[in-house]
Structure 1
Amino acid sequence: MESKFFDALIKAVEQIDDGIHIIDSSGKIIYYNKAAKELDGIDVNKAMGRHILEVYPSLDFETSTLLQVMKTCKPLFKVEQNFVNYKGNKISTVNTSLPITYNNRIIGAVEISKNITRVKELSEKIVNLQSALYKNVSNVTKTKNTAVFNFLDIVGQCKEMLKIKSLGIKAAESDSPVLVSGATGTGKELIVQSIHNASKRRSKPFIAQNCAALPTNLLESILFGSVKGSFTGAENRAGLFELAHGGTLFLDEINSMPLELQAKLLRVLQDGRLRRVGASSTIDIDVRIISAINIPVQKILETSQLRQDLFYRLNVITFEIPSLKQRIEDLPLLIKHFINKYNKKCQKFFTGVSKEVLEIFMKYDWPGNVRELEHAIESAISLYDGEIIREEHLPFQFKYLLNNSTNLMIDSDDTCGLEQSLEKYEKELIISALQKVDWNVTKAAKLLNIPRQTLQYKIKKLAIS
């Protein structure tokens, strides 16, 4: 019975697409599935009984994840390993390696390897294209990766925004690091670009990189560059620091950068020089760093998302961008600005919004901030004709605030105020939309005509599970 069970188990394991290795206490391979054979290019019979380093000569006792587990008796989860197989191919895998113990004694180790070689190759091609684009950035005046905004483009007359513009002009006179905090959609990059364009570096490159968009290894090579052969598909390539030399490097959502990469970034900022991935020499750089976080400055260290030493290095000049709700007096100015913008783009002739729409806008919470307002006006102007944006022109998320919906069912003895009642109704609308699309957040956001990020925020805020 045990023999049949073992045979069935082996057959099942052979169907797994990931490579599986098992070694004994001496480091010899005692199991090696078909996927591992395809990955490594070695016949199973030739691999069985051989020491792991005999089969993988490009690895050693320090770089082999299996041997590390044998040495420490501690599991490793999703660790990247790079090696050259017998055919001379560079292979990249993500390994989960586990020690096998019996009577408190280690008797072997098992490893599951996922092949990411092709993924890394494609990623490197993307990085190479991005690098080629940035090389020509000084010759391009209006692309996504150049600074096109200045302080005159910042719409706002409230006390907070006037202060930010005044201090921003002064910050542009120095080369000190700047940290900008603010919720999604408040206009952080608008401030950042304005600082760059008011500085002595205005004629030099402005390069922006979202730190939450890429995995650690890829982000490292993008920022610091790489040398040929340092890893699978790597070429001699300048990183964003080198490409931004003399100019400004904007690191958005820096609190999402992995901690191990934050340490390398700190060294670059302290020394003024960097080492490409896989290189032995260093390169001097002259770059002004402006970074942004999407949570309040006073909370950044509480969350442990940013190293304390790096935070103090970046937090020399600080700007906290208020939410739209905090600067609601700027709403009429912003409405006029976006109507003019999309009238030109869509060749329409809207002159303003109705009194009812303005009242709705004043009551709304604006979780998506200025960006959400812009999208609401863009939607109305794109889809409808007329002179005035009216209630029926508004996207779905405003429906609960329409005049014909103000008679929400509030009993006379109900102690709930307007805000609580609106939240209750908003929650019902969101749940209804989620149910219609089988709780798919992306589809629900489209149905509600709001950004996916806004919907995620509301789901969390309204405790919808």
Structure 2
Amino acid sequence: MVLSETIYQTLIQHMDLGIHIVDDTGKTVIYNEKMAQIENMNSRDVLYRNISDVFAFNEGHGSTLEQAWRNGTESHKPRQTYLNNQGVEITTVNHTFPVREGGRIIGAVEIAKDITKLERILQENRSQSSRKYTFQHIIGSSRELMEAVEFARRATRTTSSVLIIGETGTGKEIFAQSIHNESSRAAKPFISQNCAALPDSLIESILFGTNKGAFTGASDRPGLFEQAEGGTLLLDELNSLSPHLQSKLLRVLQERTIRRIGGTKDVEVDIRIIATMNEDPVDAITENRLRKDLYYRLGVVTLFIPPLQERKADIAPLAEFFTAKYNRLFQLHVTGLTPAVERLFQEHNWPGNVRELEHVIEGAMNVIETEELIDTKHLPFPFRNRPVPDHTPAISTAKQHDPAVISPIEGSPGLHEYLFQAEKQYVKQILEENNYNIKQAAGILGLSRQSLQYRLKKLGIQKILV
């Protein structure tokens, strides 16, 4: 008997569903760990207390558990939203039923599934959709950035899928929104979803929607494909999707139809898909994180966003923009950076890109009092004490290269054409000497692999690369 009781208690505590049981007086007698996790509560604050003493429900929407033990009501409620004892809003899908013995109600059981995270994600998607960025919000004037902006502007003229490649923090979503807001779809929804933020089971229901009865607690809900009808759906970190979901996405792109989970009919959708990746697609394909056929289908238009370390001319205007932003938020009057900070910013390699720059400035302005310039003493401690990186590009062991020494160019080209041909000649030379290994060549040129690929396309260099 003792063993049976131990097994019973272990089973209850390790279930992946919330279990809440009350006795015939409405007091909690069983409250498992999953339920405590869902409701962000400590079990000692709930056990042996009445439901109404712990939780708050909207007027006219009382506790389904209380209704079960008082009235014998069984419910499969699609959704129940209430507040815990700290005022935090909880949303669950419940199956609640009374427990009877000899015709008398001796208690009630509630089995709950947490959908709070799903509700918050949907709210976040709606709030993100209300933000509108255009190309005017892209700060900087470097040649590398302007080339990316010009390429993105051309993509506004069509409805083809777009693949945006860039390191984390380079501003890929701003480019995506800019393409949408200057296209013929601007009046329709723009919906963004981070594919890395959620498990497959949840992301699939969010993207494709659900039909009632698809699983316990499922209701008729349109997915993001349907919600973005006529507009644009941004899939951030596409390479985080499982092969199964990548296959379903490929079907959407090919057939322009989706089927809800649990559904039996296909629904036509008219959307433009923009996807982003923070790694080289060649690497993702090689390591089976990206389907090759999906890459070819999505990459009709491929846009590379250069990292901040390769466009350091943009650091000053970006710093000015972020300083003005936090002056408004913090009621400060900071006018700029000291020369020492300017030098430090130019020497830093910015692995977090524009996002890191913003965070550094925000952190500095949190500790400023009456000063008008951001000084090194205001910078976050890890940043201030980070060693100055060595930006000297790797040198081929076979031969040292001087980019200023190039073969003569016929005729008398203008400066722009001369520089274009010189760059093309030098890049080809490095590629040839490294047997067209793009990773090695990028290291010697002091570029990221993504940036080198972008330059190869711009320079018209076509060769099978490894």
Return the alpha-carbon distance in structure 2 between the equivalents of residues 331 and 162 of structure 1: 14
Q: How does 1:316-395 map to 2 (within 5 A)?
A: 316-385=300-369, 386-395=371-380
Tell me the distance in 1 between the aligned counterparts of 2:120 and 2:324. 36
Q: 1:127 aligns with which of 97, 101, 118?
A: 118
**Aligned AA (1:127):** L
Deviation (angstroms), 1:354: 0.6
Structure 1 residues 357 and 127 mapped into 2: Cα distance closer, same or farther (>3 Å)? same
1:329-348 CA-partner distances (Å, limit 9, x unpaired) = 21111111111111122121
Shift in alpha-carbon separation, 1:165–1:172, aligned structure 2, 3 A: same
For 1:335 and 1:35, locate their aligned partners in 2 and report how far apart those are by CA, in whole Å. 51
Query: Does residue 398 of the first structure (1) align with residue 412 of the second (2)?
Result: no
Cα 1:204–1:397, aligned 2, differ >3 Å: closer, same or farther?
A: same
Instruction: Give the aligned partner of residue 288 of structure 1.
Output: 272
- Identical amino acids, percent of aligned pairs: 40
Shift, 1:144, TM fit: 2.2
Cα distance, 1:213–1:387 mapped onto 2, change above 3 Å:
same
What whole-Å deviation, never above 9, does each CA across 1:107-166 have from its counterpart, x for those lacking one?
xxxxxxxxx99998322x5435655786xx5xxxxx323341110110121111101111
Kept in 2: contact 1:157–1:330 (CA 8 A): yes
- The alpha-carbon distance between structure 1 residues 396 and 128, as it changes in their structure 2 partners (threshold 3 A), is closer
Which amino acid counterpart does residue 323 of structure 1 have in structure 2?
P
Aligned residues: 307
CA contact (8 A) 2:281 2:290 kept: no
TM-score, with structure 2 as normaliser: 0.60
Deviations 1:398-422 (A, max 9, x none): 22259xxx9xxxxxxxxxx9679xx
Q: Kindly report the root-mean-square deviation, in angstroms, between the aligned alpha carbons of the 2 structures.
A: 3.3
Residues 3-60 of structure 1: CA deviation (Å, up to 9, x unaligned): xxxx99x7798277348xxxxxxxxxxxxxx989x99xxxxxxxxxxxxxxxxxxxxx
Quick one: distance in 2 between partners of 1:120 and 1:326? 51
What residue ranges of structure 1 are gaps of 5+ in the alignment?
A: 1-6, 20-33, 40-87, 91-115, 138-142, 407-416, 421-465
Query: Which residue of structure 1 lines up, in the alignment, with residue 189 of structure 2?
Result: 205
SS of residue in 2 equivalent to 1:145: helix
Q: 3-state DSSP class of the match of 2:157?
A: coil
Q: For 1:391, give the aligned amino acid.
A: T
Deviation at 1:224? 0.6
**Alpha-carbon distance in 2 for matches of 1:298, 1:290:** 18
Assess if the C-alpha contact under 8 Å between 2:128 and 2:191 holds in 1: no
Whether the 8 Å contact between 1:147 and 1:206 is mirrored in structure 2 is no
After superposition, the Cα gap between the structure-2 partners of 1:18 and 1:259, relative to the gap in structure 1 and judged at 3 Å, is: farther
Within a 5 Å distance, the mapping from 1:224-243 to structure 2 comes to 224-243=208-227
Cα distance, 1:166–1:273 mapped onto 2, change above 3 Å: same
SS of residue in 2 equivalent to 1:171: helix
2:257 equivalent in structure 1: 273
Partner in structure 2 of residue 255 of structure 1:
239
| CA displacement, residues 199-239 of structure 1 (integer Å, 9 cap, x when unaligned) | 11111000000111111111111101111111011000100
Asked whether the 8 Å contact 1:150–1:195 carries over to 2, the reply is yes
* Deviations 1:228-252 (CA, angstroms, capped at 9, x unpaired): 1110110001000000000000000
> Is contact 1:212–1:256 with CA below 8 Å preserved after alignment?
yes
CA distance in 2, matches of 1:378, 1:418: 26
Instruction: For residue 297 of structure 1, report the CA deviation from its aligned partner.
Output: 3.0
Compare 227-236 and 338-347 and name the one that shifted more. Answer: 338-347
| Residue 14 (1) aligns with residue 7 (2) | yes
Taking the TM superposition and a 5 Å limit, the aligned residue runs for 1:83-94 are none
Question: Distance between the aligned counterparts of 1:343 and 1:236, measured in 2?
Answer: 46
CA displacement at 1:271 relative to structure 2: 0.6
Per the alignment, do residues 297 and 160 of structure 1 end up closer, same or farther by CA in structure 2, a change over 3 Å counting?
farther
TM-score (norm 1): 0.60
Paired with 2:319 and 2:211, the residues of 1 have a C-alpha distance of: 50
Residues 70-85 of structure 1 correspond to what in structure 2 (within 5 A)? none
Task: Tell me if structure 2 keeps the 8 A contact 1:338–1:374.
Answer: yes
Distance in 2 (alpha carbons) for counterparts of 1:130 and 1:155: 29
219 and 89 in structure 1: CA distance in 2 versus 1, 3 angstrom threshold: farther
Q: Which runs of 5+ in 2 are unaligned?
A: 20-73, 77-93, 96-109, 393-466
Aligned twin of 1:173: 157
